[in-house]
């Protein structure tokens, strides 16, 4: 009896040559590092050096997170990945009433340039690559990073890293939006232009399917809706007067890696092939780098369990292997205790060691695209590609990603998938070790890391001190210039940088833009 994949596609017990009858290897595969990039975006992939090992971290105060970053670097992390708390993600200061109870909980609290200086104190920004998981206020955090680098004497052309900056998926699956879609897309286009001129090595957006997958999207839905969002961003930038080859090489993507290795490998390969063809055929991109779908991967947090948490070490290793076999450019491996609370120092180190074992103790880095030509992988790659293209066609029929979002299409499709997964888990058809099979009568005690609730008061004190010390007239002048730019067509990042340099807070800058652009309110369709 055939099983079904996570995308609801059949998995046959045996595959053979007949499954690839009429299959054109040259058209479907090409060579590694060449169009359509099915086999990977670089000719040598990991045979020369492994993927970038990032560890997503950030909690409490900037001082605490800075200490964690230094530990990760000492343990061999090659790139930092910053988690921000919810008030920062939503553009609110830590002392705003709406921030109460959330300061420092799911990431680090950053209210101003003062906090950013502490966060990266003693970390050479010309030698590390930094990814920041920030979306609606991404421009602010990037500019704060640039300002701190300037204070270190590091010029912007030496900065490398990524801002997530993917607001469309926030309307679909995550909810940390601020402004309506139209001004949000304008802000993203301004970031593209600013980085081309000022921070040329920076990846200006990480178009994210991860959060859709965590909300319940199947692999086919994950890449379909992510690539549809990517198409919307490219159209926005082109409409703003940019040449596609001026910004497309700096686009990057962010996907999940589940425990279902075969379909995940197929998903990554299909995504590369679809994106290469879209960029070539729809947008006429000429630069080969514009056709490359480069992506970061994070192992599937939603698959981790609070029951028997040590089993998550196995899950994360399998998920990490799927990402590597699929050709990821960078990887974050979750800590085994994340289903309970913030990772401890030890669990974060074990997560990094998992990547290091994959890179240095296995042979998966010895050859490019190890599964190429596998009957099952090539068949599944074609099937996931076809399912994703069908969903992308439906998005286009609705008028594109933004119109489809406004009609609730992506969200409703993901909810149906999530409901199917929940039903299968509840019935026992989908086995979750330690949850609906192989349970323990009594769970072993585990002491998680907790965030000190006093952080909220400490951040409020820092903000009061900042407001008392700064030149308020300079702040007011800079914020007025920012609002004027937002009302017109000038790039808002230049006056925004002036405001942040004058020690305007994240909340004040976002509030200035809220006054001009308004805030997004979901429609009844959601």
Predicted confidence (pLDDT) per residue in 254-306, tens digit: 999 999 999 999 999 999 999 999 999 999 999 999 999 999 999 999 999 99
Spatial contact of 269 and 326, defined as CB atoms under 8 Å apart: yes
For the chain, the farthest-separated pair of C-alpha atoms sits apart, in whole angstroms, at 75
Spatial contact of 297 and 331, defined as CB atoms under 8 Å apart: yes
Residue 480 lies in a domain: no
- Using CA atoms, how far residue 488 sits from 1, 138, 181, 237, 495, in Å, is 62, 20, 17, 17, 13
Q: What is the 3-state secondary structure (H, E, C) of 428-469?
A: CCCCCECCCECCCCCCCCCCCECCCCCHHHHHHHHHHHHHHH
- Give the per-residue pLDDT at 525: 43
56 pLDDT band (50/70/90 cuts)?
A: confident
Residue 122, classified by CB atoms within 10 Å of its CB into exposed (0-12), middle (13-18) or buried (19+), is exposed
**DSSP code at position 343:** P
- Give the per-residue pLDDT at 524: 55
The reply to whether the predicted model has a pTM over 0.85 is yes
Q: pLDDT tens for residues 197-247?
A: 999 999 999 999 999 999 999 999 999 999 999 999 999 999 999 999 999
Residue 468 lies in a domain: no
Task: Name the one residue in this structure whose structure tokens are 């030496």.
Answer: 158
Residue 505 lies in a domain: no
Question: Is 410 strand, coil or helix?
Answer: helix
Spatial contact of 262 and 377, defined as CB atoms under 8 Å apart: yes
- The enclosing H or E element of 256 equals strand 251-257
Question: Is 292 strand, coil or helix?
Answer: coil
The pLDDT mean for the chain works out to 95
Which among 325, 224, 220, 212 has a CA at the least distance from the CA of 6?
A: 220
Residue 472 lies in a domain: no
Q: pLDDT tens for residues 96-113?
A: 999 999 999 999 999 999
- Using CA atoms, how far residue 435 sits from 294, 342, 344, 384, in Å, is 35, 21, 23, 29
Distance (Å, rounded) from C-alpha 126 to C-alpha 156?
9
Residue 268 lies in a domain: yes
Lookup: tokens for 366: 């010895």
Torsion (CA) 241, 247, 248, 253 in degrees, nearest 10? -120
Residue 446 lies in a domain: no
Q: What is the 3-state secondary structure (H, E, C) of 40-64?
A: CCCCCHHHCCCCEEEEEECCECHHH
Query: Which residues does residue 96 pair with via DSSP β-bridges, in sequence order?
Result: none
Rounded to an integer, the average pLDDT of 437-461 is 88
Residue 156 lies in a domain: yes
* CATH number, position 378: 3.20.20.240
Distance (Å, rounded) from C-alpha 308 to C-alpha 289?
44
- Using CA atoms, how far residue 80 sits from 120, 128, 166, 233, 332, in Å, is 10, 7, 19, 25, 10
Number of domains in the chain: 1
**What angle (nearest 5°) sits at the alpha carbon of residue 89, between those of residues 86 and 95?**
60
Residue 491 lies in a domain: no
Distance (Å, rounded) from C-alpha 175 to C-alpha 90?
9
Give one word for 455, left, alpha or beta, with left for phi > 0 and alpha for psi -120 to 50: alpha
359 pLDDT band (50/70/90 cuts)?
A: very high
Give one word for 511, left, alpha or beta, with left for phi > 0 and alpha for psi -120 to 50: alpha
Confidence check: pLDDT of 526 > 60: no
Spatial contact of 420 and 5, defined as CB atoms under 8 Å apart: no
Spatial contact of 493 and 189, defined as CB atoms under 8 Å apart: no
Task: Name the one residue in this structure whose structure tokens are 């779908």.
Answer: 293
- Give the per-residue pLDDT at 510: 98
Distance (Å, rounded) from C-alpha 78 to C-alpha 52?
6
Q: pLDDT tens for residues 478-493?
A: 999 999 999 999 999 9
Rounded to an integer, the average pLDDT of 493-516 is 98
Cβ density class 286-312: b for 16+ within 10 Å, e for less: eebebbbbbbbbbbbbebbbbbbbebb
Residue 248's CB: how many other CB atoms inside 10 A? 25
Backbone angles phi and psi of 163, in degrees to 5: -105, 140
Question: What range defines the domain where residue 256 resides?
Answer: 3-300+309-427
Distance (Å, rounded) from C-alpha 30 to C-alpha 498?
48
């Amino acid at each position: 009896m055939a099983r079904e994949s996570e995308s609801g596609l059949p998995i046959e017990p045996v595959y053979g040559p007949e499954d690839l009858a009429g299959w054109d290897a040259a058209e479907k595969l090409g060579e590694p590092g060449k169009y359509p990039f099915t086999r990977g975006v670089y000719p040598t992939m990991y045979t020369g050096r492994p993927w970038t090992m990032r560890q997503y971290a950030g909690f409490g105060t900037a001082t605490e997170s800075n200490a964690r970053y230094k530990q990760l670097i000492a343990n061999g992390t090659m790139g930092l990945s910053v988690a921000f708390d919810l008030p920062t993600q939503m553009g609110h200061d830590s002392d705003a009433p709406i921030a109460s109870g959330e300061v420092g909980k799911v990431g680090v609290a950053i209210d101003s340039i003062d906090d950013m200086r502490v966060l990266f104190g003693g970390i050479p920004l010309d030698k590390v690559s930094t990814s920041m998981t920030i979306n609606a206020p991404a421009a602010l955090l990037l500019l704060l990073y640039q300002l701190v680098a300037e204070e270190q004497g590091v010029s912007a052309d030496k900065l490398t890293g990524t801002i997530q900056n993917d607001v469309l998926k926030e309307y679909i699956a995550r909810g940390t939006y601020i402004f309506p879609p139209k001004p949000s897309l304008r802000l993203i286009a301004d970031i593209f232009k600013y980085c081309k001129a000022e921070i040329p090595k920076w990846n200006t957006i990480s178009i994210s399917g991860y959060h859709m997958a965590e909300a319940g999207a199947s692999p086919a839905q994950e890449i379909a809706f992510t690539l549809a969002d990517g198409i919307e961003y490219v159209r926005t930038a082109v409409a703003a007067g940019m040449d596609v080859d001026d910004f497309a090489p700096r686009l990057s993507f962010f996907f999940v890696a589940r425990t279902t290795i075969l379909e995940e490998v197929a998903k990554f390969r299909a995504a590369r092939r679809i994106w290469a063809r879209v960029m070539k055929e729809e947008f006429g991109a000429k630069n080969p780098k514009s056709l490359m779908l480069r992506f970061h991967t994070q192992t599937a947090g939603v698959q981790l369990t609070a029951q028997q948490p040590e089993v998550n070490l196995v899950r994360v290793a399998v998920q990490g292997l799927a990402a590597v076999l699929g050709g990821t450019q960078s990887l974050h491996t979750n800590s085994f205790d994340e289903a309970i609370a913030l990772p401890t120092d030890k669990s974060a180190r074990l997560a990094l060691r998992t990547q290091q074992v994959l890179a240095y103790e296995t042979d998966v880095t010895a050859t490019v695209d190890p599964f190429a030509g596998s009957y099952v992988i090539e068949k599944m790659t074609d099937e996931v590609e076809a399912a994703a293209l069908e969903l992308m066609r439906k998005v286009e029929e609705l008028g594109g990603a933004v119109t489809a979002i406004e009609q609730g299409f992506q969200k409703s499709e993901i909810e149906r998938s999530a409901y199917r997964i929940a039903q299968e888990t509840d019935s026992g058809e989908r086995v979750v070790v330690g949850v609906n099979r192989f349970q323990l009568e009594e769970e072993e005690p585990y002491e998680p890391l907790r965030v000190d609730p006093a952080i909220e008061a400490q951040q409020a004190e820092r903000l009061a001190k900042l407001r008392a010390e700064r030149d308020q007239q300079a702040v007011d002048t800079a914020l007025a210039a920012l609002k004027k730019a937002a009302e017109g067509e000038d790039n808002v990042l230049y006056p925004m940088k002036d405001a942040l340099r004058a020690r305007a807070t994240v909340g004040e800058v976002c509030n200035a833009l809220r006054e001009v652009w308004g805030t997004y309110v979901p429609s009844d369709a959601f």
